[in-house]
Structure 1
Amino acid sequence: MLKKCGLVVALVGTVFFGTFLQETKAYASKGTDCKMIIDAKEHLGTNGKFAKATGSCKGFLRGVYVPDSKQYTVLGSINTTVKNGQKFQLSFPEIDGYVTFTVYTKSKTIKKTDKVKTSSVKVLNRKGNNDKITVSKVRKNDVVKVYSRNKNLLYSVKSKGSKVIFSNKKLNKNGGTIFVSVKRGNFKESSITKVVYNAEK
């Protein structure tokens, strides 16, 4: 009788242990590929603002942007600087095999200054070195630039108000083309505006 009981316990134990192994293996094989998006504008590490990983990497990795070095960094199971689209093969204790971890970076988008309208630029081409270029509808501290038809910089000035005047200049006596741009604060320089001017009067 004791032998039979022992046999039954052994069989039950075998079945249970076998089932446990199967369940553990099934659980461990549920690894999913993961990703992380590090935003240079948001994930600066201050006030706990870090990028978080998804999928099987969740809780194991975090990302941060370091402004001083202008680098994106992943911290946690791996500690390294990264580039946009970089991939890693990682393994975690509860995962069977490896998962692919992809890092994406999002840089700060710097907007361009609004383009100067052609109607805001007036060119007076006179005899001698007395030509004048007036650019209106700008703001104080805007940097206004004038380029030649070959896109070489001719003049540049910081605005003191809503208008800038380039006086006593020498343009082509037969008329021609200039290009004008404006840069405001931390915005990028605007696209250039083509302005055609007449021959000397």
Structure 2
Amino acid sequence: MYRALLNERFNWRMFLTQITLRFHAILQERQVNTDTNEICAILDDTTFQKTGVRIEGVSKVFDHVTHRFIHGMKCLTLAISDGISCYPIDFSIHREKGKNKNYGLTSRQLKEQFQKKRNAKNPDYARKAECDESKLEMAKRMLSHAVKHGISFKYVLADSWFTCESLIHAVRELCGGEYIISD
């Protein structure tokens, strides 16, 4: 198991997608009654607080629960719910650049942070690049990835900060769905 976790060539995004697709197939095989009109995608970002700043990808991030800046990362998760079960489809880890574009760290802390040279052909290279991408753009890519692989939904449930015209347009374009705001 540990070798699989450390393998930079392992495509975690496709692995999670395949698990989701297999789960859907099992539900259909066993004729589990799920209301297809109630299938929704759920977008959520969660703060992971870290005590060390040498961990790759750690930055100062704003924690909306405590209303303060902490050292950590944000995990953006896309899940699907059919009214009976809820399971993840995709996730990405993000850091925040901050005002001075130094991720809220001193130059010494940045220098001491773990770094690894990655092969651009491996999935871990793309995952590392996602760290600095906008969570909003990543959310649109995740939704698109899900639809491309046959995972459909009628609407998206998300926190209010996700609300913007470009995401609402993307949701409607992908599946003619609705966008619902939650606090």
* TM-score (structure 1 length as normaliser): 0.23
More strand by share: 1
Whose RCO is larger (CA < 8 A, sep 6+)?
2
More helix by share: 2
